[in-house]
Amino acid sequence: MLETETGELALLDHLERTVAAFGRPIDEARYAALQDMSGDGAAYAVVTSLASVPLLAVGLSATVFVWGQTLGKTPGLTPTYGQVLAVASHASVILALRQVIAAPLTYMRETMTSPLTLNLFLAAADEGSPMARFAAMIDVFTIWWIAVLAIGMSVLYRRPVARFATAFAGAYLLLATAAALIAAISGGVV
């Protein structure tokens, strides 16, 4: 999709929004650089796909594994890093599915902003409002992924699902809030 003219325009729009979200001015030189980057859509897609699914699974697994060691030992049960990585990797299929579903929607809408966020329910809200910015950060598929991940980790560690779901959702909401606040403080639009 990013190799088509529509895809290049959508990527350019995405790059512009990202730069603007952090309050950076877009002069002619920066715009020209962004146009050059948008011409490399295939490379951009490969890099973001590798960063968003496999690296996320590895990093998250390491974090959960270390955190899991602090939960206290269950007699006869100590999950290995490989088991934690397997659960995180299998749950990440949901994130890959999100990319497959979002691709045609992105193409039709001609923008890289995610069509699968809570903004679907706040269509009437002002795009620059803090609530709209926050809703734009909350992805429906990510919420599904968090639920599946929490279930898998609860099975591994034999702890209540709610404990993991609360921790994962809290971390996600904290990151979304921080990103929305950074964008709001810098004066940009997400």
Quick one: pLDDT at residue 29? Answer: 82
Tell me how far apart the alpha carbons of residues 17 and 189 are, in angstroms, rounded to a whole number: 7
Whether the pTM exceeds 0.75: the reply is no
Quick one: pLDDT at residue 189? Answer: 47
Give the confidence band of 15 by pLDDT, cuts at 50, 70, 90: confident
- Least confident among 27-36, 140-149, 157-166: 27-36
Write down the domain spans for the chain.
Answer: 49-186
Q: Is the pLDDT of residue 103 over 80?
A: no
Tell me how far apart the alpha carbons of residues 161 and 128 are, in angstroms, rounded to a whole number: 35
Q: Is the pLDDT of residue 172 over 50?
A: yes
Contact in structure between 168 and 183 (CB atoms under 8 Å): no
Give the confidence band of 61 by pLDDT, cuts at 50, 70, 90: very high
pLDDT single digits (tens) 154-165: 999 888 999 999
Q: Is the pLDDT of residue 150 over 90?
A: yes
Select, from the ranges 84-88, 110-114, 126-130, the one with the highest average predicted confidence (pLDDT).
Answer: 84-88
Contact in structure between 2 and 42 (CB atoms under 8 Å): yes
47-68: average pLDDT: 84
Q: Is the pLDDT of residue 64 over 50?
A: yes
Q: Is the pLDDT of residue 133 over 80?
A: no
Rg (alpha carbons) of the chain, rounded to whole number = 19
Tell me how far apart the alpha carbons of residues 156 and 178 are, in angstroms, rounded to a whole number: 30
How far does Cα 13 stand from its chain's mean position? Answer: 18
